[in-house]
Amino acid sequence: MAPHPVVELTSEASWNLIEDKFSPYGKETLAKLVAFLQDEIVPSVKLAHAQIPKDPVERWKTVIPVIEELKVKAQKLGLWNLFLSKAHYPEHGVPLTNIEYAVMAEILGRGGHMASEAVNCSAPDTGNMEVLARYGSPEQQKKWLIPLLNGEIRSSFSMTERFVSSSDARNIRTSIKREGDEIVVNGHKWWISNAGDPRTKLHLVMGKSDPNNSDGYRQQSVVIVPADAPGVKVIRAMEVFGYDDAPEGHCEVIYDNVRVPLSNLVLGWGRGFEIIQGRLGPGRIHHCMRSIGAASAALDLMISRVTNPTRKTFGKYLYEHGTVIADIAKSRAEIESSRLLVLSAALQIDKYKAKGALKEIGIAKFVVPAMACGVVDRAMQAFGAEGLSQDQELASMFAGLRTLRLADGPDAVHIQQVGQRELKRATGLAKRAAELEKKEAVVMQKASIKAHL
Amino acid sequence: MAPHPVVELTSEASWNLIEDKFSPYGKETLAKLVAFLQDEIVPSVKLAHAQIPKDPVERWKTVIPVIEELKVKAQKLGLWNLFLSKAHYPEHGVPLTNIEYAVMAEILGRGGHMASEAVNCSAPDTGNMEVLARYGSPEQQKKWLIPLLNGEIRSSFSMTERFVSSSDARNIRTSIKREGDEIVVNGHKWWISNAGDPRTKLHLVMGKSDPNNSDGYRQQSVVIVPADAPGVKVIRAMEVFGYDDAPEGHCEVIYDNVRVPLSNLVLGWGRGFEIIQGRLGPGRIHHCMRSIGAASAALDLMISRVTNPTRKTFGKYLYEHGTVIADIAKSRAEIESSRLLVLSAALQIDKYKAKGALKEIGIAKFVVPAMACGVVDRAMQAFGAEGLSQDQELASMFAGLRTLRLADGPDAVHIQQVGQRELKRATGLAKRAAELEKKEAVVMQKASIKAHL
Amino acid sequence: MAPHPVVELTSEASWNLIEDKFSPYGKETLAKLVAFLQDEIVPSVKLAHAQIPKDPVERWKTVIPVIEELKVKAQKLGLWNLFLSKAHYPEHGVPLTNIEYAVMAEILGRGGHMASEAVNCSAPDTGNMEVLARYGSPEQQKKWLIPLLNGEIRSSFSMTERFVSSSDARNIRTSIKREGDEIVVNGHKWWISNAGDPRTKLHLVMGKSDPNNSDGYRQQSVVIVPADAPGVKVIRAMEVFGYDDAPEGHCEVIYDNVRVPLSNLVLGWGRGFEIIQGRLGPGRIHHCMRSIGAASAALDLMISRVTNPTRKTFGKYLYEHGTVIADIAKSRAEIESSRLLVLSAALQIDKYKAKGALKEIGIAKFVVPAMACGVVDRAMQAFGAEGLSQDQELASMFAGLRTLRLADGPDAVHIQQVGQRELKRATGLAKRAAELEKKEAVVMQKASIKAHL
Amino acid sequence: MAPHPVVELTSEASWNLIEDKFSPYGKETLAKLVAFLQDEIVPSVKLAHAQIPKDPVERWKTVIPVIEELKVKAQKLGLWNLFLSKAHYPEHGVPLTNIEYAVMAEILGRGGHMASEAVNCSAPDTGNMEVLARYGSPEQQKKWLIPLLNGEIRSSFSMTERFVSSSDARNIRTSIKREGDEIVVNGHKWWISNAGDPRTKLHLVMGKSDPNNSDGYRQQSVVIVPADAPGVKVIRAMEVFGYDDAPEGHCEVIYDNVRVPLSNLVLGWGRGFEIIQGRLGPGRIHHCMRSIGAASAALDLMISRVTNPTRKTFGKYLYEHGTVIADIAKSRAEIESSRLLVLSAALQIDKYKAKGALKEIGIAKFVVPAMACGVVDRAMQAFGAEGLSQDQELASMFAGLRTLRLADGPDAVHIQQVGQRELKRATGLAKRAAELEKKEAVVMQKASIKAHL
């Protein structure tokens, strides 16, 4: 199988660096994915958009036909659930490592979020499947995980709350109480992705089951709430820069005395924080890698535009004006270095799990989406007003990437954590500096030179 | 009249620098405007948005009631057509200078584009009124200018074309042909602001009347096209990010064999380029100043958010985390310096007209909107996902400001022009350097020191 | 008097903004200074450098002859002590405001630090003269201030200490003790400017006279130490990027049981902090304004280089390559906006003294030197390796400007202070937001619209 | 041999990515080098500086004793000529690949340029040895290459000319003429590194032997000029910032009718351009990798400073102030991504030689030195004025790194080349876009959806 299309879509140099980390199966799957993206997914994106009604009510009742067709094809091709690594999920996973899937996530990132959905690799379903595969009871797995793995249903992860800063899990106000053999859920969430989708059948809801526990990170539990349970009220869709992202949406949801059976509790009482911790690591890298795919696609669009002879002004190609060439070079450099950062983090996860790769994940998290926003911004500028409009993907790409600077922890949180981690090296550095000074003194003395005090 | 509210909304230090350039009338009007903005306009913005229907058809038929009410109040208060300087438009103008209006434009910028509309100072009506006041025939003025000045109708400026880079006026393809005592217009435009508004009654259309003229800047003419003339087809609204900006909109418009009387020609055949040149200067500054108002409002929102005790995380105010304080300081510094740049440009226009202020206008044009985008971006980050949503004005503010990096010439054009202008100083600098070398040689020789070759 | 040379050396637009703040005397002095800079100072800079011996001992014993000649001329022309405003120093000052001197400081900044010395306006002498003029006893003024004002001697301000972070005055370790009718000084200072100069006759030394005072800002006193007092040991010159700045130097100085008469105490026991506070404000602005002059000069050099036909490569002028024009435009914009920031701060000082202009001074302090470093860095890049060498002033200019990001408080301190000051606006903003919400509610209710919860 | 010290000095994550590209010999050598750097080189740097006399004449006659001692030890340890890859130089090279040496170059970069000299890997000797190993005649190799490989002599590469932009080789003015069986060299060069060193025995001089050749790149030849040949005049040392870098120096050199035998011509008449092309590729990467080592060392110093309890101000560690933690995190991210870029380029060279890695080399060249300057600048800021002085290595590090943004082609040249290379992808992109449009149309048609025109 020729590696050519892969190389063309990613980067030859980074491919050389990691090729020997790919199994034959990984290489084969990657090549199939590239072909599927180019031949099937990307040509269908325009149609998919056209199949979403403009009507403010109807658009939320839609199952986009062409996406469903793509899903059938993808499943046949074995391009399915690629995110779920057999190494970590022996029963349900596919034999791909994180670094292998990272490259595939970049490829998917070139096709927008529809591409990920077409191969059943779209958030938040991915994280939810990981949670259920790792922590779900056999009953929960049978009822919710299997249909999710089959792409028959979708799901929401319901954590973010209105009116509080729920990025600190201790601030969560949603209550999850046991009453007899039922669990009662009351809370006010928003930014609940997929909650608008008619295919969504469950919400994994995070709330406080033990708000007075002295350990602030043992107060939370996670419970499965069926999307059609009485009391689940999807209030409205939150917009991102004017986009409602129907039919999935990022919705405001009120849980008003919602009752579910005890068996819907995931993992156990007070283990909610543990669940979200486990859920985040690799997903962040996948977001980053998709961002790199998006940035690459934006740069390709920019290059096409500035070399288009029908876009000449004042007798010159656009690329002959101003700083266009420098902007392109800078974008290319940023994409290459970002890709390498993410690949390096992915390998680290493969070696030491997410916990052993926190520095690398953190760096990628605060570098990559911001970088991608910048590259897309330059591309928009090259396209003029059209670049901001519905006639190009750039503006919606920007909006999506912009959310990634906030999702799963805002940039600042990751910056501080990486910085703090560096500070921990101070003790070792001080020790080494002390040793150095001693050696230096010996050397100076031997040479009978008096150092400046 | 106490200057206090002005100072509070703008900046005491910059106010001190320019206070003596304000007439008593200017100060009084400014104070009234500040009060009107705070007491009337800003409290109505939410209602105005609510009065736009969600229905994809109905929203384009809407005249927003509260805006019309504000217009009546503003007219009574004398807060009307403030952009039209009596110095340049003795008949219709108000006795305000550019620097006076610049400060007011900043104030208006705090209220979004609805604020400008409420005092009849919104683009593209402003530029169109300037064109008609300067170049319109008495008949044209009576029929179109007076209702515009009265805020009874609205208007479009129809220049940008689909499929070509119309920022180079020589690329324009729309044809404007005389046939007998009629003019026939054929063309395909887009990004025609106001074209969706039911109140819009005329389009000023730029096209080629003499495409073979050897002088590429004498090929164009401008003609008044009634919005309801047969053949004027408003195809769709262009979106900016996901915003359609209904009811005004930025529309794609086809002129299909539109016929208007000869008397609708503005200024004369072949004078289209002259018209657009005259139209641009001060308007660019007003956009810049509104951008500063927007950035200031965004910074105020950010400060409120990061000091809000209900938004604490991990036991600390948001401002105690990461680089928030530095981001705020940097934003303040950027706003202050940008404001000073624009005020300096406005004064230059007052002294030497737009032609004598090209450097200052150019600098403001490429510095200010980009600066404002940056400040708003930081504010969005402070708000988390909410900052990107319809619950805060920040994202739509960003979208509007982002277009200003393209409207009236993209950043790159202004950067190149300012740079080229600097290069013209080379001759003078070379002369001075030669003189200096001579003097230097004399000085060295007198001191009997041999310079290095 | 023709304003032309002023306009050429500064900026016409900013000059228009402030011209009416200049007195006739101010304008006249400015014009004389411009002429003196161009005709006398700048042509002498090369000679001045040549008159400093290379020998590592001799260079510290040098009084540069051409500077002394310039000083005589300047004094005759009335271009002398321009920094000392009569408004604040009625007895010794010149009738110039801060905004007037700010423009002159920019002019001086084009001539390097030798220009300031030529008109007796060089730090740290300026700040020391202010201290002695404001706080000195008649005896101190007679003995030290008058010769300083006459340019007969020079002086050091001895505050920064080795081994501690003395930017926090409470960390100071130098002891100043009364013993009988003498004061005994012991301490280890460094970065003491002028301490290497043979003309320097006094050090104003800051130390702790009352280290146990519960008020950490009443522990310090300032005392005049004659440079030749026994126990004053100038250890070595600190280098800045390899420059030793001989003969002035920035020296490491040990005060080893130095004894001075009681009458050498300045202002009073425990008033050292008060003295340094008063010393800093306007001086910071003057540094900033000189930085703008330096940046302007660097940009002029860059323009000359990139338009020089002998420097063509690959058949093109340097300015036709890469991003040179954009770099120039950006530099011009940064210089203009920085100048306006400083002028605005200077006017604020004129109106409300340094205490009432802390925000404006703080902003200028963290924006301007960093901006100037950036402009000079671009210029160096345009010159190639020559730009980093002794054949151009750029590298030494960079070194000097780089120190200003640390001197009188590092950037970070000013950024934090400006940010904190902004946060104080939170209460007012919250109040206004609450009022707005009320009004909004009224407006919505009147229109019978229910706001989203 | 434990890989631990390597990991500590470089980065675990990048090490994991490339470990399998290292041979056992490579790993062993790396570990020895790390130990030698830590135990021998770094402790000797201070002494080495102290062994350079301050006297402006004597310092140029110095052979630094401790460096010579280190060279003996290094040679014994087999840490010698590590830059010369056996793959490309079978006779004289060591069995290391580019990627292996790249990691070692980073290690060396932590010890300043003295570290490279200690293991006989310092420019310009390295490039000169490559030239002589590849193109030298047996006689030339015996006379010049062998002593260079043994570290017994040093050498200069004499290309850059005063008064012209010699980065365009066609601008070179130095003449190289055959007269009988001699070659006569006349020219005026500067920035000739090593020309001040008493151990330097030869200059490889680039000049024009055939200035009228219609092929501008066949006009040049390279000739070996003995450093002590009559007519070789070392005029002065160029300074970088204030550093003269004695004893090596970067000197201005005049070749005044210098005569050498015909046998001193390298490779052949008219092949000078070919020689410099071959000379540059890998060297650029090594500069980059050393820059990363320097940046890493600077970040370590910064971390030590901001965690030093004796440097607290206002009761807080320096890292608790302002944006220090964010600056550290950003620096770490930039170092990691830069390292990965260079490693990726090094691997590309190993696979496809320098010619097949031009994009990767170009990106590294314009990204890495600028990045390193930025990191060092932040570190300097953390150290206060001391950071700019001779008491820390930071300022001289900055000066050295700053020259790398100009050496071997200024940033702008590499940026343009990378940008132009990207533009070449336009044809392929256009083809793919056309195919996509066709597929899209088919998909839309099948679904009976009419696309917007």
Please report residues of D whose CB lies closer than 8 A to that of C240: 242, 385, 388-389, 395
Q: Which pair of tokens denotes residue A249?
A: 């949406």
- At which residue do the structure tokens 């000049």 appear? D207
Q: What is the DSSP string of A397-408?
A: HHHHHHHHTTTT
Q: Residue A304 and residue D433: Cβ atoms within 8 Å?
A: yes
Quote the mean pLDDT of chain A.
94
Nearest CA in chain D to A440: D43
The dihedral of CA B368, B373, B374, B378: what is its sign? positive
Please, what's the largest Cα pairwise distance for chain A?
Answer: 88
Please report residues of C whose CB lies closer than 8 A to that of A237: none
User: B391 Cβ partners below 8 Å, 6+ apart?
Assistant: A238, C452
Give me the residue from C236, C326, C452 closest to A323, CB to CB.
C326
The dihedral of CA D7, D10, D13, D16: what is its sign? negative
Q: Residue B452 and residue D326: Cβ atoms within 8 Å?
A: no
Between helix A358-383 and helix A394-404 the angle, nearest 10°, is 160
H/E stretch holding A176 reads: strand A175-179
Give me the residue from D8, D17, D436 closest to A42, CB to CB.
D436
CB neighbourhood size of A51 (10 A): 16
- Summarised one tens digit per residue, pLDDT across range A135-192 is 999 999 999 999 999 999 999 999 999 988 887 889 999 999 999 999 999 999 999 9
* Alpha carbon distance, N-terminus to C-terminus of chain D: 68
Q: How far is D371 from chain A (nearest CA, A)?
A: 12
Neighbours of D, requiring at least 3 CB pairs below 8 Å, are A, B, C
More confident residue, C169 or B236: B236
pLDDT on residue D78: 97
Q: How far is A336 from chain D (nearest CA, A)?
A: 7
Report the alpha-carbon distance of residue B287 to residue B126 in Å, rounded: 11
Q: Which pair of tokens denotes residue B98?
A: 């550019």
Give me the residue from A8, A325, A337 closest to D338, CB to CB.
A337
CB–CB contacts below 8 A, A to C: 9
Per-residue pLDDT band for B5 (boundaries 50, 70, 90) equals low
Residue C158 and residue C170 in contact, taking contact as beta carbons nearer than 8 Å: no
Using only the alpha carbons of chain D, give its radius of gyration. 24
Please report residues of C whose CB lies closer than 8 A to that of B345: 13
Q: Residue C411 and residue D168: Cβ atoms within 8 Å?
A: no
Nearest CA in chain A to B309: A164
Neighbours of A, requiring at least 3 CB pairs below 8 Å, are B, C, D
Please report residues of A whose CB lies closer than 8 A to that of C238: none
- At which residue do the structure tokens 């349970």 appear? A229
pLDDT on residue A9: 79
pLDDT on residue D249: 96
CB–CB contacts below 8 A, B to C: 218
Q: Residue A236 and residue C322: Cβ atoms within 8 Å?
A: no
Q: Report CA B301 to chain centroid distance, whole Å.
A: 23
Per-residue pLDDT band for A2 (boundaries 50, 70, 90) equals very low
Please report residues of D whose CB lies closer than 8 A to that of C167: 313, 384
Please report residues of A whose CB lies closer than 8 A to that of D332: 363, 418-419, 422
Q: How far is A44 from chain D (nearest CA, A)?
A: 6
Beta pairing class for C182-193 and C250-261: antiparallel
Q: How far is D439 from chain B (nearest CA, A)?
A: 22
Q: How far is D413 from chain C (nearest CA, A)?
A: 8
Please report residues of B whose CB lies closer than 8 A to that of C363: 329, 332-333, 336-337
Question: pLDDT tens digits for chain D (453 residues)?
Answer: 333 456 677 888 999 999 999 999 999 999 999 999 999 999 999 999 999 999 999 999 999 999 999 999 999 999 999 999 998 899 999 999 999 999 999 999 999 889 999 999 999 999 999 999 999 999 999 999 999 999 999 999 999 999 888 878 899 999 999 999 999 999 999 999 999 999 999 999 999 999 999 999 999 999 999 999 999 999 999 999 999 999 999 999 999 999 999 999 999 999 999 999 878 767 778 899 999 999 999 999 999 999 999 999 888 999 999 999 999 999 999 999 999 999 999 999 999 988 899 999 999 999 999 999 999 999 999 999 999 999 999 999 999 999 999 998 899 999 999 999 999 999 999 999 999 999 999 999 998 876 554
Q: Residue D423 and residue A332: Cβ atoms within 8 Å?
A: no
Please report residues of A whose CB lies closer than 8 A to that of B241: 241-243, 388, 395-396, 398-399
Instruction: Assign 3-class secondary structure to chain C.
Output: CCCHHHHHHCCHHHHHHHHHHCCHHHHHHHHHHHHHHHHHHHHHHHHHHHCCCCCCCHHHHCCCHHHHHHHHHHHHHCCCCCCCECCCCCCCCECCCHHHHHHHHHHHHCCHHHHHHHCCCCCCHHHHHHHHHHHCCHHHHHHHHHHHHCCCCEEEEECCECCCCCCCHHHCCCEEEEECCEEEEEEEEEEEECCCCCCEEEEEEEEECCCCCCCCCCCEEEEEEECCCCCEEEEEEECECCECCCCCCEEEEEEEEEEEEHHHEECCCCCHHHHHHHHHHHHHHHHHHHHHHHHHHHHHHHHHHHCCHHHCECCECHHHCCCHHHHHHHHHHHHHHHHHHHHHHHHHHHHHCHHHHHHHHHHHHHHHHHHHHHHHHHHHHHHHHHHHCCCCCHHHHHHHHHHHCCCCCCHHHHHHHHHHHHHCCHHHHHHHHHHHHHHHHHHHHHCCCCCCC
Give me the residue from D236, D323, D452 closest to B323, CB to CB.
D323
pLDDT on residue B1: 34
Which site among B422, B439, B442 would you substitute to test the C interface, given the most C Cβ atoms closer than 10 Å to its Cβ? Answer: B422
Q: Residue D452 and residue B236: Cβ atoms within 8 Å?
A: yes
**Residue D141 half-sphere exposure toward CB, CA atoms < 13 A:** 13
Q: Residue C348 and residue B16: Cβ atoms within 8 Å?
A: yes
Q: Residue A244 and residue B242: Cβ atoms within 8 Å?
A: yes
Neighbours of C, requiring at least 3 CB pairs below 8 Å, are A, B, D
Neighbours of B, requiring at least 3 CB pairs below 8 Å, are A, C, D
Per-residue pLDDT band for B281 (boundaries 50, 70, 90) equals low
Please choose, from the candidates D335, D330, D341, D347, the residue with its C-alpha nearest in 3D space to the C-alpha of residue D363. Answer: D341
Cβ-based interface (< 8 Å): residues of B facing D:
236, 322-323, 325-326, 452
- The angle at the Cα of C28, spanning C26 to C32, to the nearest 5 degrees, equals 115
Q: Residue B300 and residue C14: Cβ atoms within 8 Å?
A: no
Per-residue pLDDT band for A6 (boundaries 50, 70, 90) equals low
pLDDT on residue A1: 34
Q: How far is B125 from chain D (nearest CA, A)?
A: 29
Q: Residue B341 and residue C336: Cβ atoms within 8 Å?
A: yes
Q: Tell me if residue B188 falls in helix, strand or coil.
A: strand
Q: Residue B243 and residue A241: Cβ atoms within 8 Å?
A: yes
Please report residues of B whose CB lies closer than 8 A to that of D323: 323, 326
Report the alpha-carbon distance of residue B275 to residue A174 in Å, rounded: 62
Nearest CA in chain C to A163: C453
pLDDT on residue C453: 45
- Summarised one tens digit per residue, pLDDT across range B216-242 is 999 999 999 999 999 999 999 999 999
Contacts for D24-27: CB closer than 8 Å, 24+ residues apart = D25/D95, D25/D96, D26/D96, D26/D97, D26/D100, D27/D1, D27/D3
Report the alpha-carbon distance of residue A60 to residue A39 in Å, rounded: 28
